[in-house]
Amino acid sequence: MSKLMTAAFTLAMVLSAGRAQAEQSAPSAPSLPPVRHLVYRFGYNTPAADSGRNTGTTTVDFAGIADDGGVKITATDVWWNSTKPQQSYTCELYATGSVACKELPNAISPIQIAIVPLLAKEVFAGLSSGPTATWNPQWNVRATFFPGAGIDFAGQVDTWNCAYTFGGQGTIPNTTSGLPLNKVQLKGSMTQQGGRRIVANQQANILFDPRLNVPVYVDELLTFVPQVNTDRYTVELKLIRL
């Protein structure tokens, strides 16, 4: 069984209780209410797990509309057995996937940047053309990155131009909702504007739930040109609660 199939069936079991509760609260509604609270299990340079070195959870809370039309989100990483177990940052997320971290310390973590832009409402709009569609979203990120993850631009606020190709790879069964999950491959890069003009090349395999309108699984690899203190890292995220 492939890694994505295993993730899909595991997620279906974990999320079934949460979905059932939402359906009971609004039995006649054609779809779930807007998501306001998401919890992902993560692994940084290791598979996502409920315990172990470089694992933990990331919670994303939607806190309302900002003055400029962005959605305020607060993302919190809780690391397993760490001396600094929690990092929480507030940023604004825009419909196209752009992120602006305007509140001190103007930061977003390497874990959070792997999922937060993908929660924007227009990022997966290309799937409306079909499960094997290809589309090319672009967005900007204005932030610094914490924890440093060994990358030497941590602490410096920059704008990053992000350009991607998303390719639909068909669907796999989702026994919980009856609607299949979309398999999507992401390829592209984040390019630093100014400074060393570092390029973070990204590849990711994603499972997208069209009913929840959010990714339920992300497996991402980043590599840096020119090489920084860490030349590459991986992030795996699995949705466990909503």
Strand pairing of 107-108 and 138-145?
Answer: parallel
**pLDDT tens per residue across span 58-71:** 999 998 887 777 89
**Rounded Cα distance, 207 and 180, in Å:** 10
CA neighbours closer than 13 Å in the CB half-sphere of residue 44: 21
Pairing of strands 158-172, 181-193: antiparallel
Q: What is the pLDDT of residue 22?
A: 40
Domain 3-241, what fold? YmcC-like fold (2.40.360)
pLDDT at 207: 97
Q: Is the peptide bond before 226 cis (omega within 30 degrees of 0)?
A: yes
- 83 residue type, one letter: T
45 pLDDT more than 80: yes
Structural domain boundaries in the chain = 3-241
**Residue matched to tokens 């054609």:** 30
Determine how many CB atoms are found less than 10 A away from the CB of residue 68.
Answer: 9
79 in Cβ contact with 56 (< 8 Å): yes
- Which is nearest to 217 in space by CA: 185, 190, 189? 185
169 Cβ partners below 8 Å, 6+ apart? Answer: 131, 132, 183, 184, 185
Instruction: List, for residues 141-181, the tens digit of each pLDDT value.
Output: 999 986 544 444 556 889 999 999 999 999 999 877 778 99
Question: Model-level pTM?
Answer: 0.84
- Average pLDDT of the residues of the chain: 84
